[in-house]
A and B are shown apart, each in its own frame.
Chain A
Amino acid sequence: MKDVKCECGHVNPHGTVLCEACGKILDEQETNKQLLDMRYEGSARRSQTYNKTMIDKVWNFFSSVKVGVWLIVITLIASIIGTILPQKMYIDLPPEVYYEQEYGTFGKLYYQLGFDNLYGSWWYLLLIALIGVSLVICSLDRVIPLYKALKAQRVTRHEGFLKRQRVFGVTQNADKSDLAILKQHLVQKHYHVREENGNLLAEKGRFSRWGPYVNHVGLIIVLFGGMLRFVPGMYVNENLWIREGETALVPETGEQFYLHNNQFILQHYDKNKNKKFEKALAKAGNVVKNYQSNVVLYKRTGEKIPGEKPKLEKVKEYKVRVNHPLTFEGYSVYQSSFRSEMNAMRFALTNKKTNQSYGELKINLREPKEKYDLGNGYSVEILNYFPDFEFGKDGEPTTKSRVPNNPAFVFRMYSPEKPKGETSFVAIRQTIEPFGNNTYKMAFRGIETKNVSGFVVRKDSSLWLVILGGILFMIGVVQGAYWNHRRIWVQNKNGEIWIAAHTNKNWYGLKRELEKVLEETNINMPEDQLQREETDKEGV
């Protein structure tokens, strides 16, 4: 485990393939090759040199790009599986019922394997996390040696290094003036040219080598931001239903904010007003144009304990629409859905024979009164109220929930003829007279409905981290993809001019640039040794 001293005098870390300074081949195996593997400049990747302790072994495992690619591929396949059937969050039935009912045996199996919540499963999360680990270790393990190697490089390079570059050429009869022109051209092409004993090293775009590491940092930040969501208080995601005309507490705001829903508006496209959509609308029928809730945001003033009526101060009025959420103090309120609820029912106390009405009553389904006095000795009492009526197991009427989905009543109707009252059970499209034939009935007169707006309340305190990570990723990926690191070595060897060139990608561009640079000189265009090799193989 000793450092290696090259003949040029530079001391390289153990495991280095090419001398950081002059490029001499330090690894015996590499000398047999026609072309050098220039990945990471032949620097010593730390992970490959030490393999002693458990920590080193784990480190080395994650340091491998191969492992990274495998993790990506496994995640990719897992992700595909998750799209075969809808995920749990997109279905509106209990999953144990839904999958079998909709997709048969396959659906049942899918559910039993836990694929109904694949992206929230511990193992999918673990896969993403392992990719994160791989990102950190792979990057650290490469960027430091690469940085050191690029910093240590000298202008004058070893013969073996130059010969084994992919683009390489020798010119016998070139003189000083050619070199001067060449140097001038290189500077014009924005190369950073260094000179040493009449040898040149022209380099540009080195920063593009950092692109991958910058984008990896961006990704790690995004993953970290995702992780922070699990920290209590960092992430709020709540549903909020508010009936028209009512005020509700915005959840998770520390009982600070209240929202009043003035009106919910649903608009459709009108065939006659939107002529250009006429054909499409004729085929599709109703197409929704707008979902909107007109709301007022209030802030509580002073102290308050739950259950107490708060003192409120108006903050602002807003029209919450899809794509236009209401935002305040880090919270966003989105228009997400709506429903229409029965709000009131109207009945008329009617004589069954004469069909004459003795007064109408409107029953507020959320707050029905006990007794409705219709005057002249007529009145109606509600003996029982079932907002969500059904017959129970014992045959007795009962209610499924508190929501007035299917209201039913047991009325007691009082009239001058029947001062003791008559009992009648009234549900939608159903009347039962439990104690025989009545004289009066409750004639159904109508239903009033009320819209309920469905909102989603969000707060995502780690959003800025995700944004920052995204920006960094884009910078890194553009830096790495749209620029390339080109180097041209021009050296005097025994009166000959040797030219070698290297780029991390876009060899075509490098060669075209070399042609331009070598114009007006007697120096030969160097050859692409890889192409020669391949033409040899193909025998064309």
Chain B
Amino acid sequence: MVTISSNLLFAAFILYLVATVFYGGSIKAKKDPNETKKTNKWGSIAVFLTIIGFISQLGYFITRWIAAGHAPVSNMFEFTTFFGMALVGAFIVIYFIYRSTLLGLFTMPIAILVIAYASMFTRDVTPLIPALQSYWLSIHVTTAAIGEAILAISFAAGLIYLVKAIDQTKSNKRTFWLEIVMFALVVVLGFVVVSTAFSAIGYQEKFTWVDKHGNEANLEYTMPALTGPHEGKLLTSDGFKPLVEMPALINAKKLNTVIWSFLAGFVLYGAIRLILRKRIAAALKPMVKNIKLDFVDEISYRSVLIGFPVFTLGALIFAMIWAQEAWSRFWGWDPKEVWALITWLFYAAFLHLRLSKGWHGEKSAWLAVIGFVIIMFNLVAVNLVIAGLHSYAGS
């Protein structure tokens, strides 16, 4: 069952990749630039592939659920994969409202990155600790993820807006920050590439080190240690000698992974720049020339409008009901809870700002980007760095 499940996920991943190519084609092949209602052949194929991929991933989800005996949203891999799936699902829904294949061209790569990122974590079927043994696990986590995914669509739309609206002929703060967003996406790709590469060659090195309480412990690196642990002693004979030793307060292993991801990100980004000979955002500009600004602005705003209630329901209300049952209080200021509140406050502020004219358009698009950064921070950093009740067992 688990094998079928992972095969289905792999199939979905490939389908999404192919679909992205077709989305690209649909933009190029479009004859009448103002005709947004009818999708051309490339576009139809792309949407078809996306739906097939989505169904395949749904198959992964169901088979894994059967295999594990609980909803597969209980660890970093499962949750992030589900988030990727929700992102594709949210795109399909928004697509049938607005019929924009360009949105697909921007959303699918993000979804692919998310799923690839998820696969870098351990894919074992994990047992549930007592606190998670509740049907609220499936209800709360899926609803929250779907809400976040719909909100993330507003990021894709916002990105389209920025790529189109920002003048790339001269460099300034706007082009810089937009390029930072692009670079951040490349760094995620970098993380996927280095992780895959080192795990493919089976890289491993072991250390003993001394933690901040003075206890000696073992630590296993899966990437060559650029930053070694505090008073670390390399045990693997042909292992890579750390360049710098970190103080005990800093998690040297996680920092090492981050540094490797950035290194790979820089290399990849450099290569892309060499090929394109201009900024990524500038290279994307021709793709978006046929879309109207206020149209993407509306998609972005609408996604927030649709996603906000779902997010509130899943990440706050269902979360509170479950917390009341499992931890005896509906609200306890656990970091994850607080970050859900922060996300919620942010989008509440976004919706209120939209009331005034000055915050439509580009400002609103930047806000959509910041919103996505908050969601990603909540997903990645809060689970892996700020450990609380929600931390996924240190994986």
Contact flag A325-B298 (CB < 8 Å), given A76-B342, A280-B126: no
**B346 to A477, Cβ gap below 8 A?**
no
Bound-complex Cα distance A482 to B302 (A): 9
Residues of chain A within 8 A of B335, CB atoms compared: 83, 86
Measured CA separation A84–B324 after assembly (Å): 25
B124–A279 contact, CB under 8 A? yes
B130 touches A288 (CB 8 A): yes
- B240 at interface by CB-CB < 8 Å: no
* B313–A474 CB distance below 8 A: yes
A391 CB-CB contact with B under 8 Å: no
- Is A133 an interface position by the 8 A CB rule? no
Contact (Cβ within 8 A) A289 B130? yes
Chain B residues whose CB sits within 8 angstroms of the CB of A435 once the complex forms: none
Q: CA separation between A276 and B97, bound complex, in Å? A: 42
- A79 close to B342 (CB less than 8 A): yes
Answer whether residue A103 sits at the interface, using C-beta atoms and an 8 A cutoff.
Answer: yes
CB of A315 closer than 8 Å to a CB of B = no
Query: Is B122 a contact partner of A283 (Cβ separation < 8 A)?
Result: yes
CA distance A538 to B291 in the complex (A): 12
Q: Cβ of B309: which chain A residues have Cβ within 8 Å of it?
A: 474, 477-478, 481-482
Q: Mark B301-315, 1 if CB is under 8 A from A, else 0.
A: 110011011001100
Q: Chain B 47-61, CB within 8 Å of chain A: the 1/0 string?
A: 000000000000000
How far does the Cβ of A236 sit from chain B's closest Cβ, in whole Å?
Answer: 11
State in angstroms the CA–CA spacing of A24 and B320 once bound together: 49
Q: How far is the CB of B82 from chain A (nearest CB, A)?
A: 18
> What residues on B are CB-neighbors of A336 within 8 Å?
328
Q: Say yes or no: B127 contacts A323, CB within 8 Å.
A: no
Chain A residues positioned under 8 Å from B122 (CB to CB): 280, 283
A259–B324 Cα distance when bound, in Å, is 21
With A65-B352, A65-B356 already in contact, the answer to whether A531 and B292 are too (CB < 8 A) is yes
Contacts A477-B312, A534-B293 hold; do A323 and B134 have CB atoms under 8 A apart? yes
The segment out of A44-52, A183-191, A381-389, A501-509 that lies at the interface is A501-509
Stretch at the interface among A67-75, A145-153, A167-175, A411-419: A67-75
Neighbouring B residues of A79 by C-beta, 8 Å: 338, 341-342, 345
Give the interface centre of B2, B338, B393 by most chain A CB atoms within 10 Å: B338
Binding site for A on B (CB under 8 A): 2, 67-69, 97-98, 122, 124-127, 129-131, 133-134, 212, 249, 292-295, 298, 301-302, 305-306, 308-309, 312-313, 317, 320, 324-330, 332-335, 338-339, 341-342, 345-346, 348-349, 352-353, 355-357, 382, 386, 388, 393
Q: Which residues of A contact B (CB under 8 A)?
A: 37, 39, 65, 68-69, 72-73, 75-76, 79-80, 82-84, 86-87, 89-90, 102-104, 119, 237, 269, 274, 276-277, 279-281, 283-284, 287-291, 321-323, 325, 332, 334, 336, 456, 458, 463, 466, 470, 473-474, 477-478, 481-482, 505-509, 530-531, 534-535, 538
5 A–B contacts, CB within 8 A, in A order: A82-B333, A119-B338, A474-B312, A477-B309, A481-B308
